[in-house]
Amino acid sequence: MTSRNFSGHWRKTPGRLFGTALVRLYQLTLSGFIGNSCRHLPTCSEYGYEAIARHGLWKGGWLALFRVGRCGPGGTHGIDNVPVELDARLTWWAPWRFASVGHRCGG
């Protein structure tokens, strides 16, 4: 059986392990009650898992948070993959800049 989450190589730092464990806990518990209603592919929890695995707890967490915000009513839909590399302007002291990452046109 293959995992629905990111299976590529990623550094297993304590922050990344903690963040991916939280996402996995959500997937195994609350996700079943909320239902399968994500408007994007990959789903928001899969996106969060991969974002944290690739970019760490801080940057990946912000990417995941803004992705969930885009998934609500009036938000975007469609294919929205985690960027492999992040722009240099996305720094730890300016988390609002992470809102500009991702699918913006709703197609």
Per residue in 57-94, pLDDT tens?
999 999 999 998 888 778 888 898 999 999 999 988 99
Can you give the pLDDT at residue 2?
A: 55
pLDDT at position 95? 92
Angle CA 84–100–42, to nearest 5: 50
For residue 64, the SS3 value is helix
Q: Model-level pTM greater than 0.95? A: no
Distance, CA of 14 to CA of 29 (rounded, Å): 22
Q: Is 11 left (phi over 0), alpha (psi -120 to 50) or beta?
A: beta
The answer to whether the Cα torsion of 8, 20, 48, 57 is positive or negative is negative
H or E element at residue 40: strand 40-41
d(CA 78, CA 102): 11
Confidence at residue 73, expressed as pLDDT on a 0 to 100 scale: 79
